[in-house]
């Protein structure tokens, strides 16, 4: 029921509280920041870690507010750069795999794409709380965003049908998850990274594009990069590394808007060798 500004203010308060009361996550963020950005001072990394919690708190309340986002409010709350790149990828007619990371409010970006009239689909893990999961799925659906449950019995069929229909499939590849992965450079260190989305794009002939969202000057700013049109002969590991480098560049640009408490570099069994870069 709060206006957007009020929701964001409450979210910032929640973020400040979380920074104080969850020391384990705070220390985890500081540890990862020291691994990735050793050139910064301790004070600078502490400021980033604090801002990470504030951003997550704000994003949480924005997600609660998202059902109120419509085409009119989208124009006043969101700026979009590189939409012509995104349109070019869609116009190719063979589906689009949109690669992004947990940067800014990625849920807002999916909603914006749906409200712009594109057939948007996202692969997402179900929440531990069915009520929360139902809310998020319904919220996405209100902005024409379809949720494909990761690991569900029908997920493979839904994913393939999405691209066959020429629709957009959003994937996040910046977390260390239980999936087929390849070790690629991430802030100068090898990190297990899901390779399935790159394999899917190459095998299906879909266009590949990287897109990111950033909270800036009171608005959400979405940026799409130049599309990539992979061929059957392309190496999915190399493509994964290229897209991971794009994610790293965005994180360096706005480090306070990434989830630094995630164990990104933790080794997993069954990873593939690193690509030759």
Query: What confidence tens digit (pLDDT) does each residue in 81-131 have?
Result: 999 999 999 999 999 999 999 999 999 999 999 999 999 999 988 877 888
**Helices 130-142 and 106-115, packing angle to 10 deg:** 40
Query: What confidence tens digit (pLDDT) does each residue in 146-155 have?
Result: 999 887 778 8
Is 79:222 a contact under the CB 8 Å cutoff? yes
pLDDT at 32: 98
pTM above 0.85, yes or no: yes
Query: What confidence tens digit (pLDDT) does each residue in 186-231 have?
Result: 999 999 999 999 999 999 999 999 999 999 999 999 999 999 999 9
How far is the first Cα of the chain from the last one, in angstroms, to the nearest whole number? 50
| Number of neighbours of residue 219 by Cβ within 10 angstroms | 12
Is 220:213 a contact under the CB 8 Å cutoff? yes
Q: What's CA 25's distance to the chain center, in Å?
A: 20
Query: Which two three-digit tokens encode residue 213?
Result: 């969202």
Rounded Cα gap, residues 40 and 33, in angstroms: 9
């Amino acid at each position: 029921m709060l206006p957007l500004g009020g929701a964001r203010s409450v979210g910032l308060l929640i973020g400040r509280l979380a920074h104080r009361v969850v020391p384990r996550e705070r220390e985890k963020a500081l540890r990862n920041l020291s691994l990735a950005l050793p050139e910064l001072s301790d004070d600078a990394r502490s400021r980033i870690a604090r801002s990470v919690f504030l951003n997550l708190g704000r994003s949480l309340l924005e997600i609660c507010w998202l059902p109120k986002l419509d085409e009119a409010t989208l124009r006043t709350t969101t700026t979009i750069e590189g939409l012509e790149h995104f349109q070019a990828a869609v116009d190719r007619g063979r589906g689009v795999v949109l690669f992004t990371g947990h940067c800014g409010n990625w849920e807002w970006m999916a909603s914006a794409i749906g409200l712009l009239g594109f057939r948007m689909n996202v692969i997402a893990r179900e929440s531990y709380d069915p009520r929360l999961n139902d809310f998020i799925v319904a919220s996405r659906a209100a902005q024409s965003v379809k949720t494909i449950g990761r690991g569900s019995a029908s997920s493979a069929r839904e994913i393939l049908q999405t691209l066959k229909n020429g629709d957009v499939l959003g994937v996040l590849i910046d977390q260390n998850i239980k999936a087929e992965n390849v070790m690629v450079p991430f802030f100068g260190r090898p990190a297990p990274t899901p390779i399935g989305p790159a394999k899917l794009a190459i095998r299906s002939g879909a266009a590949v594009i990287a897109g990111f969202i950033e909270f800036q000057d009171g608005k959400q700013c979405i940026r799409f990069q130049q599309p990539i049109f992979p061929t059957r002969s392309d190496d999915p590991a190399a493509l994964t590394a290229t897209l991971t480098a794009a994610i790293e560049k965005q994180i360096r640009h706005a480090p306070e808007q990434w989830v630094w408490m995630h164990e990104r570099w933790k080794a997993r069994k069954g990873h593939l060798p690193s690509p030759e870069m």
